[in-house]
Amino acid sequence: MNNNRGKQKYDKLIVYYFSGTGNAKNAAKWIAQFATNNGISSIVVSIDNKPLIEIQDESKKTLIGFCFPTHGFNVSPKMLKFIAGFPRKLNSDVFILNTRAGMKLSKLFIPGLSGIAQFLPALILLTKSYRIVGMQPLDLPSNWISLHPGLRPKVVKSIYERCEKITYRFAEKLLNGKHVYKAFYSLPFDILISPISVLYYFIGRFVLAKTFIANNDCTSCDLCANNCPTNSIEMYNGKPFWKFTCESCMRCMNNCPKRAIQTAHLYSFFIWYIFGGLVTGIAFNYFFNKNFSTHFLPTGVFKILIYDIFQIISVFVGIYFAYKLLNFLLRYKIFNKFINYTSLTYYSFWRRYKPPKNF
Ligand SMILES: Cc1cc2nc3c(=O)[nH]c(=O)nc-3n(C[C@H](O)[C@H](O)[C@H](O)COP(=O)(O)O)c2cc1C
């Protein structure tokens, strides 16, 4: 992976990364490693604990990178805040690399979807006068184990091998002064799903934050709370409690040494149905039709809008209290068992996600 072609365009590389389970961190490290091997001084900086942003040395030609996972067809909220607060700098070169949910079916590598994960940070950086020289999505293994079991280690390894090569090619082109805009390949799909990105950012992520619990196997080791990149886990009576600020990055669930952290699937669906369906229907009908029926048929833009507002308020208030109740009831052995058996993540076939060690 030596880069001998042409004259180096940069003297220095700084890569800022946010990573839930290690994919974006590995991508950042690969790029830095490639640069170092080619005589460019490089640093990789985690944004977990408000890093000191280096004021770039004017005498050096610096390339700045941002690596992060895609969350809900968008840039992960923590990285979005970091980029929004990044200092302005005239004509400095930057690149954006978002890791996505890569899968593999037989021999076929299946890509994830970026949504606005590339274009939103690019827009922010453009308004800060940066020059965007690279926009690269990278389909590393999906870590979203609330939705599906972690991929098999063999599949993870094969996806990693492919992505490592892609990342080196990307780094080589950038360091040779070329521009890479691979993110544009999926632009039609990304535009199509962009409304979901917005819904996820303003609603979805908060709802998902309240699906996590620790069962009776939890030993109160505090590892989850101490390693949470958004400080969203508080310990109450020796058990973790997830705050609304949780980004569902999956670090806690994948790293729990006792596999005690679960997604309370059935309980969460039940609460969403009660508050998003029944309670909303009753409240809506009470105010508009003066009855307590749950059957509703909002017609007209105004009524649909009111209905949606009812639904959002009802779901948020509902999950706030239902989550407190859930954590209280978990003290009882029988309820703990019920939650375990109705959480898919509890079953042994539901693998946790771990990036391979030797990458
Ligand atoms: C809450 C959540 C939302 C996600 N949303 C998307 C998505 O919209 N599109 C996608 O391709 N991958 C999505 N993923 C998958 C991750 O972006 C992907 O696995 C990434 O490589 C993880 O990187 P990390 O290990 O650095 O956290 C999502 C994962 C999680 C946990």
In a shared domain, residues 133 and 272 = no
On whether residue 201 sits in a domain, the answer given is: no
In a shared domain, residues 184 and 291 = no
**Gap between the Cα atoms of 156 and 142, Å rounded:** 9
The residues pairing with 12 across neighbouring beta strands, listed in sequence order, are: 41, 62
In a shared domain, residues 19 and 158 = yes
Q: How far is CA 170 from the centre of its chain?
A: 22
On whether residue 240 sits in a domain, the answer given is: no
Tokens of 220: 């109160």
Q: For the whole prediction, is pTM greater than 0.85?
A: yes
Q: Which atom of ligand 1 is nearest to the CA of 205?
A: 1
Are 239 and 339 a contacting pair, CB within 8 Å?
no
In a shared domain, residues 142 and 280 = no
Domain count along the chain: 2
Q: Which atom of ligand 1 is nearest to the CA of 355?
A: 25
In a shared domain, residues 183 and 304 = no
Residue 220 CA to ligand 1 center (angstroms) comes to: 27
Instruction: Give the range of the structural domain holding residue 92, as residue numbers without chain letter.
Output: 12-192
Domain-terminating residue out of 168, 192, 216: 192
Q: Within 13 Å of residue 263, how many CA atoms lie on the same side as its CB?
A: 20
pLDDT, tens digit, for every residue of 341-354?
999 999 999 999 99
Block residue for tokens 């048929």: 297
Residue 98 CA to ligand 1 center (angstroms) comes to: 9
Q: Within 13 Å of residue 224, how many CA atoms lie on the same side as its CB?
A: 32
**Gap between the Cα atoms of 159 and 323, Å rounded:** 37
Block residue for tokens 């830095």: 32
- Contacts of residue 280, Cβ cutoff 8 Å, sequence gap at least 6: 296, 307, 310, 311, 314, 315
What pLDDT shows up at residue 284? Answer: 79
Report which DSSP code applies to 14: E
Residue 358 CA to ligand 1 center (angstroms) comes to: 21
On whether residue 249 sits in a domain, the answer given is: no
On whether residue 3 sits in a domain, the answer given is: no
On whether residue 229 sits in a domain, the answer given is: no
Q: pLDDT by residue for the chain (359 residues), tens digit each? A: 555 445 678 999 999 999 999 999 999 999 999 999 999 999 999 999 877 776 666 667 899 999 999 999 999 999 999 999 999 877 789 999 999 999 999 999 999 999 999 999 999 999 999 999 999 999 999 999 999 999 999 999 999 999 999 999 999 999 999 999 999 999 999 999 999 999 999 999 999 999 999 999 999 999 999 999 999 999 999 999 999 999 999 999 999 999 999 999 999 999 999 998 888 888 877 877 766 666 656 667 777 888 888 889 999 999 999 999 999 999 999 999 999 999 999 999 999 999 998 77
On whether residue 139 sits in a domain, the answer given is: yes
In a shared domain, residues 154 and 279 = no
Q: Is 24 in the pocket of ligand 1 (CB under 6 A)?
A: yes
On whether residue 26 sits in a domain, the answer given is: yes
Run of H or E including 307: helix 301-329
Domain-terminating residue out of 192, 225, 247: 192
CATH of the domain at 76: 3.40.50.360
On whether residue 220 sits in a domain, the answer given is: no
